[in-house]
Amino acid sequence: MEYIVKKTYPQNWTAYNKAPTKETELFMKLLYNLTDDIYKPYEFGRPSLPLCDVIFCSALKVYSTLSSRRTAMNYQIAKERDHIAHKPHFNAVSKYLTKKRQHPFFLN
């Protein structure tokens, strides 16, 4: 009788488990470093969210694949960690994502 030995590989379970548990936190830090220096030109009328916050929250919403309401807690966490200046209303980010004038920025 012939036996087939299945080859197994060791797993670093500490690192393997740590990665998904810290994933969103690390993503927020990286995203903050990428969006912090984005300049928002002055516009007349009612003040809107800073462009860097819009981009940060939009990327966070898309990355999380959560609904707008469920992503609101991530915005609160980002605000508490000073990654964004203002916590947007959960609908505000979706509205910015659908604005035609924002599309060229997100596509570049």
Return the pLDDT at 103.
56
Return the pLDDT at 16.
87
Return the pLDDT at 100.
65
Q: Which residues of the chain have pLDDT under 70?
A: 40-42, 47, 100-108
pTM score, two decimals?
A: 0.75
Domain residue ranges of the chain, discontinuous segments joined by +: 29-35+48-108
Return the pLDDT at 96.
86
* DSSP states of 53-78: HHHHHHHHHHHHT--HHHHHHHHHHH
Return the pLDDT at 48.
76
Return the pLDDT at 46.
74
**What is the number of other CB atoms lying within 10 angstroms of the CB of residue 52?**
19
Task: Answer for the pair 50, 41: CB distance below 8 angstroms, yes or no.
Answer: no
